[in-house]
Amino acid sequence: MAMTQRGRSKLTPKEIISKVNLALDKLEKDMAETLEDDNNDRPENAKFVAAQVLKNGGVLLEMSDENGAEWLKQKEITRAFERYFPGTVIIKGKTYQVVVQFLSTRLCNRLEKLLAAIKDENHLTPGSINSVKWL
C-alpha cells in the first residue's frame, strides 16, 4: 500500500509507522462507535510494520498481514483513515503495468468493452484493473 504525502516530510520511517498506527487505533475506536457492520471491524493484529520513504516524497507502507491491507482498502475505511491526515495523505493501491504482445489490431477499439471479460475470466476483484489502452 502506498501513501502519498503532499509536501515533503522530515519524518523517519519509524516515526511514520508510529503515526499511522496511532491513526489506525483511533480509527478503530471511531469506527466501532459509528458502524455496526462486522465487515468494517479491524482484523486482529492488523498494523503497519514497515515504511519506506520514496524519492517522490511518497511513502510505501507494509502491513502485518494481507487481511489488514484489504480492510484498509475499503472505500469508507480509506476515506476515514485519510481524514486523520487532512490534506497530506492519499492512500493508493500498488499498481502494475502489463503489456500484452501480439494482440490483434482488431481489438484496439474494443479494449474497454473487453475489460469486464478480462476481469471475469481471471477472477480479478473490482478495481484491480485501472485502465487498458492500445500502445
Low-confidence ranges of the chain (pLDDT < 70): 1-9, 33-40
What average pLDDT does the structure give for the chain? 81
End-to-end Cα separation, the chain, in angstroms: 27
Closest CA to 115 of 96, 102, 129: 129
> Residue 114 has which C-alpha cell?
473487453
- Check: CB of residue 3 under 8 Å from CB of residue 61: yes
pTM strictly above 0.85: no
